[in-house]
Each structure stands twice: as structure tokens, then as C-alpha cells.
Amino acid sequence: MARAGSGPLRGNLPSEPATQAVGPAAGPIIADPGPLGLAAFALTTFVLSVFNAGILKTGEPVVLGLALAYGGGAQLLAGMWEFRKGNTFGAVAFSSYGAFWLSFWALVAFYAKQATPHAIGTYLLGWFIFTAYMTVASMRTSGAVLAVFVFLTLAFLFLALGDLTDTKGLTHVGGWLGLITAFLAWYASFAAVTNETWKRTVLPVFPLNAR
């Protein structure tokens, strides 16, 4: 079980030495930005995936506000605070996916007419590659976060293949995988913020950083 107050993205990573170095007094304690980053990612992914899965056929531009303000802005801020906390994995993940949502907003808002399906497929394929190697790193964080990355990797793969092969069925599979990813991210966020406020483990995140 994770100790109360520990975030699901924390891992025994090279940037987090086991022993505390002797040096100047530590700075002020800041709140864990992980639950915010996960929640922003979850909600934006959920809304977009509803359209990718074919559950709703029209109204996709509703995603743009979320992509700009919550999935993009809030998640990017969470990534910057993870840098402040010394959590390399969380910093890279939240900053990168915050930038992904900002780039998605810009793509749809300004460049959608010039973007061919193959070009969008290549864009998604690049995010699949990034997510795949982040999945390897997530194996030292928590089971909750690992599950998010496994399903996100699969979602990007099917979405990329859907555009590269012009196969709507693959895009729909990617959308359903995105919905699963969103609910897993919501759980990880829910667990982290609940455990922190209750000061004990209410919902397990299944830490994977034991030696």
C-alpha cells in the first residue's frame, strides 16, 4: 500500500536518491500536482474519445476548450510543478501531454483543412512512440499509472493506424481504448487526492517502486 500523501506518479527514479544529500534547507512544501494533471488528462481524453469511438457523431469542436484550458493549460502547469518537486517522470509526462493537447487545439482550430489523414496518422504515431517508452518508465511508479500508460499506448496505436490506413473501425477501437484510459486516469487522480486529504490509504494505487 502507498503511504498517505504519496502520489501515484512517484517512483524510485534516478532523480530521487534514496538518501537525502547534505545541503541548504529545503524549500517550502508544495501540494502534489499529480491529481490535477491526471484529472485534466482524463476529462479531455474522455470527451475526445466519445467522438473517436463513434458514440457521438457531431459536436467534436467542444473538445477544443478543454484541450486549451484543462488538458493543455492545467496539465502543463502540473508538469512544471512536478519539476519543482523533483519528479522527473511526472514532469516529462504532464508537460508533454499538456503540450499534446495544446498542439491538438492548434491543429484543429487553425490547420485542420491542410492536414491529410496520413499526416495526422504520422502525428499520432509519434505520440504512440513517446507513450510506449514512457510506459517502460511507468513500470517503476504505480500500478494505477502503469495501467493508464498501457491503454494510452494502445489507443494512440489504433488511432494512428486508423488514419494511416483510412480505416474507421480502427479509429473507433482507439476511441474505446481512450475511454478506458480516461477512466483509469480518473481513478489514479481520485485515489491520489482522496488518500492525501484523508491522510491514509483509502484507494490503493499499487506502488511498483519496491526494490
Read off the pLDDT band of 155 (50, 70, 90).
very high
73-82 tens-digit pLDDT: 999 999 999 9
Share of the chain above pLDDT 70, in %: 86
Other Cβ atoms within 10 Å of 84 Cβ, number: 11
Read off the pLDDT band of 18 (50, 70, 90).
very low
164-177 tens-digit pLDDT: 999 999 999 999 99
Residue 29 confidence (pLDDT): 85
**DSSP letter at 8?**
T
Residue 17 confidence (pLDDT): 41
21-33 tens-digit pLDDT: 444 455 678 899 9
Give the residue extent of every domain in the chain. Answer: 34-188
- Show Cβ contacts of residue 85 under 8 Å, excluding neighbours closer than 6 positions: 30, 32, 33
Coil, strand, or helix at residue 142? strand
- Show Cβ contacts of residue 144 under 8 Å, excluding neighbours closer than 6 positions: 8, 184, 187, 188, 191, 204, 205, 206
Question: Measured between alpha carbons, how far is residue 148 from residues 66, 151, 181 in Å?
Answer: 20, 6, 5
Coil, strand, or helix at residue 60? coil
